[in-house]
């Protein structure tokens, strides 16, 4: 089966370095590259030495900014194929024909640490997939947890500033044990569900091949008749879910900081291709308010007892990239990269992401033309009137405006019924307010559900993790406040953690004081003119 992305990539390969002698960037053969041009054997270097200047300049400019989060990662190419047509729910072309393979690029990542940090830290893992579909690129930019720390993307800078290394000494790089994170958590109880996952063994996967992935948000499928269905995406690894235990994770950090990415690389090289099944939870539009949580709240799962996961296809990763920087570093995922048949919901976290990724990539990848970089380039034709900008590498012909009677320019779609992306015509009506829905208020039921779904030894690992992480927090006030929050999840959990970190056992839930709400959470302060 031909792989359209691989055929396209080949046209971008650099000239074979073994095919001839060293040249400059201009293709001029260089006679000697070990000594700079100088006056006499011991004299000053000459400005005229264009080879020296080019070589050093190119080296000086090798680095680009690392991703502001998810800086460290590993990627691979592969394909996705559906098991059966999903036409009843979505018109997305790549989900119609069983056996038709869509090329993909997947990047796995840690979130907190910088690009050179270790793999096996306690952290969320990114699981981002770019589908090169015949209708354009679709990016499913997910994580290995089904929930996220915050409900509204406007809190993302605060959250990341609290999670990242502390500003004065850049400690810790790649672990979560520090005051600012726990201060934030203890004051922002919406973080608790994801914190429970973070303290569990899910946060130290043994291998990227043995990790689940989740789209996290509720998205929408839209079928050919324009009917929407809410959808949550799940990746399930064929090898099952496996974690390291904490001691193994720490040892691996010392022995091999590349533990997870080496595993991915080596197994693909050995022909043991990792595989995941894509599953969906589907909720009809009319059932939007059927649950005791809000489908738009990314801190909640839809329990599988309520809505089972239906398998719809499989993902196989079968080729390592040729160049880490060109491909894994320069790949640019974006939640707003959707294709006809897949649409958004009003989840305020998703809406923020739909702004943030393109915005950050404009700086990270040096301007607006990064979708022309080979790893990002769609296999679907790209035709529009966007022009110029840094790193333009396409040679456009003719004029670039529409409507246009002089020739050139890319016309807008003439036939209103022809295939195209059309936003779902959702009716929206309301006042402009900064206020969170009361349906986002319950921060404790699902963390408790998670805790009670764990076996004894899994619960013990969670307690140990809380003790380890909170035991490193300098502020006793933050330790106490966090334990009080845990008491609202489960009193036994809170008491066990308290015992291990030298703070008093908290009062049972109900008698625990609420933390001082941040302004964003205080509904009183945020009525707005229409509230
Ligand atoms: C990067 C997932 C929330 C901003 C990433 C990546 C993943 C990811 C997997 C790495 C992509 C790659 O491999 O290149 C998620 C998930 C979220 C979430 C699952 C919540 C459900 C957010 C929010 C924001 C955000 C709320 C901002 C409002 C970013 C940025 C990057 C990033 C700026 C770096 C992108 C780049 O430089 O290319 N995220 N994220 N994320 N995320 Fe998120």
Tens of pLDDT, residues 230-289: 999 999 999 999 999 999 999 999 999 999 999 999 999 999 999 999 999 999 999 999
**Ramachandran assignment for 461, one of left (phi > 0), alpha (psi -120 to 50 degrees), beta (any other):** alpha
In angstroms, what is the span from residue 248 Cα to ligand 1's centroid? 28
At 508 the pLDDT is 84
Judge whether 51 counts as a catalytic residue.
Answer: no
What gap in Å lies between CA 73 and CA 150, rounded to an integer? 23
Residue 519 has pLDDT above 60, yes or no: no
Q: Provide CB contacts within 8 A for 206, sequence distance 6+.
A: 242, 243, 244
Q: What are phi and psi of 191, to 5 degrees?
A: -75, -15
What pairs with residue 230 in β-bridges? 220, 283
In angstroms, what is the span from residue 171 Cα to ligand 1's centroid? 22
**Percent of the chain beyond pLDDT 70?**
95
The answer to whether the bond into 317 is cis (omega within 30° of 0) is no
What gap in Å lies between CA 480 and CA 465, rounded to an integer? 16
Q: Which pair of tokens denotes residue 141? A: 């930019």
Is the CB of 219 inside a 6 Å radius of any atom of ligand 1? Answer: no
Cβ-contact 128, 111 below 8 angstroms: no
In angstroms, what is the span from residue 143 Cα to ligand 1's centroid? 9
The answer to whether 42 is a known ligand-binding residue is no
| Test site for ligand 1: of 216, 324, 356, most ligand atoms within 8 A of the Cβ | 356
In angstroms, what is the span from residue 83 Cα to ligand 1's centroid? 29
Judge whether 474 counts as a catalytic residue.
Answer: no
Q: Which pair of tokens denotes residue 45? A: 């270097």
- Give this complex's ipTM: 0.95
The answer to whether 221 is a known ligand-binding residue is no
The answer to whether 290 is a known ligand-binding residue is no
What gap in Å lies between CA 252 and CA 142, rounded to an integer? 25
Query: For the segment 486-505, what is each residue's pLDDT rounded down to a tens digit?
Result: 999 999 999 999 999 999 99
At 529 the pLDDT is 32
pTM confidence score = 0.94
In angstroms, what is the span from residue 227 Cα to ligand 1's centroid? 29
| Test site for ligand 1: of 69, 146, 348, most ligand atoms within 8 A of the Cβ | 69
The answer to whether 209 is a known ligand-binding residue is no
Catalytic residue among 12, 32, 51, 70: 70
Side-chain-side CA neighbours of residue 521 (13 Å): 17
Is the CB of 141 inside a 6 Å radius of any atom of ligand 1? Answer: yes
Is the CB of 156 inside a 6 Å radius of any atom of ligand 1? Answer: yes
**Ramachandran assignment for 378, one of left (phi > 0), alpha (psi -120 to 50 degrees), beta (any other):** beta
What gap in Å lies between CA 236 and CA 234, rounded to an integer? 6
Cβ-contact 509, 488 below 8 angstroms: yes
Cβ-contact 399, 405 below 8 angstroms: no
The answer to whether 67 is a known ligand-binding residue is yes
Atom 15 (ligand 1) nearest CA? 142
What gap in Å lies between CA 315 and CA 276, rounded to an integer? 5
At 408 the pLDDT is 84
Q: CA separation (Å) from 524 to 185, 255, 348, 434, 436?
A: 22, 53, 20, 11, 11
At 517 the pLDDT is 42
């Amino acid at each position: 089966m031909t792989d359209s992305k691989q055929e396209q990539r080949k046209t971008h390969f650099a000239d074979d370095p073994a095919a001839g002698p060293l040249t400059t960037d201009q293709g001029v053969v260089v006679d000697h590259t070990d000594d700079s041009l100088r006056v006499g054997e011991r004299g000053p270097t000459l400005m005229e030495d264009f080879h020296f200047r080019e070589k050093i300049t190119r080296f000086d400019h090798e680095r680009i900014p690392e991703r502001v989060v998810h800086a460290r990662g590993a990627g691979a190419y592969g394909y996705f194929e559906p098991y059966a047509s999903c036409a009843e729910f979505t018109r997305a072309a790549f989900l119609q024909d069983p056996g038709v393979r869509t090329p993909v690029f997947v990047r796995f990542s840690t979130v907190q640490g910088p690009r050179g940090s270790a793999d096996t830290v306690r952290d969320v893992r990114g699981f981002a997939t770019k589908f090169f579909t015949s209708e354009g690129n679709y990016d499913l930019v997910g994580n290995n947890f089904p929930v996220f720390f915050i409900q509204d993307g406007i809190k993302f800078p605060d959250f990341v500033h609290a999670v990242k290394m502390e500003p004065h000494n850049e400690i810790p790089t790649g672990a979560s044990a520090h005051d600012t994170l726990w201060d934030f958590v203890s004051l922002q109880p919406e973080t608790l569900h994801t914190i429970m996952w973070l303290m569990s063994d899910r946060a130290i996967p043994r291998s990227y091949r043995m990790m689940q992935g989740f789209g996290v948000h509720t998205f929408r499928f839209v079928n050919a008749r324009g009917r929407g269905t809410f959808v949550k995406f799940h990746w399930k690894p064929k090898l099952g879910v496996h974690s390291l235990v904490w001691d193994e994770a720490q040892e691996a950090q010392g022995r091999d900081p590349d533990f997870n990415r080496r595993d991915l690389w080596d197994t693909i090289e050995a022909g043991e291709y990792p595989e995941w099944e894509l599953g969906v939870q589907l909720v009809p539009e009319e059932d939007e308010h059927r649950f005791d949580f809000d489908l738009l709240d990314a801190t909640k799962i839809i329990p599988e007892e309520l809505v089972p996961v239906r398998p719809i296809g499989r993902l196989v990763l079968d080729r390592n990239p040729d160049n880490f920087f060109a491909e894994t570093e320069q790949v640019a995922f974006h939640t707003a990269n959707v294709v006809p048949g897949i649409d958004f919901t009003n989840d305020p976290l998703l809406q923020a992401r739909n702004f943030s990724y393109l915005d950050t990539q404009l700086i990270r990848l040096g301007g607006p033309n990064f979708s022309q970089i080979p790893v990002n380039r769609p296999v679907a034709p790209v035709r529009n009137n966007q022009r110029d900008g840094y790193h333009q590498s396409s040679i456009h012909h003719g004029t670039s405006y529409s409507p246009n009677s002089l020739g050139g320019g890319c016309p807008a779609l003439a036939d209103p019924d022809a295939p195209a992306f059309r936003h779902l015509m959702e009716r929206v009506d309301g006042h402009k307010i900064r206020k969170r829905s009361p349906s986002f208020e319950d921060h404790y039921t699902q963390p408790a559900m998670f805790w009670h779904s764990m076996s004894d030894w899994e619960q013990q690992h969670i307690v140990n993790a809380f003790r380890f992480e909170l035991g490193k927090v300098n502020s006793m006030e933050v330790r106490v406040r966090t334990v009080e929050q845990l008491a609202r999840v489960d009193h036994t959990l809170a008491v066990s953690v308290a015992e291990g970190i030298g703070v008093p056992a908290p009062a049972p839930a109900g008698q625990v004081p609420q933390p001082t709400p941040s302004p964003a959470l205080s509904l009183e302060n945020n009525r707005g003119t229409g509230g």
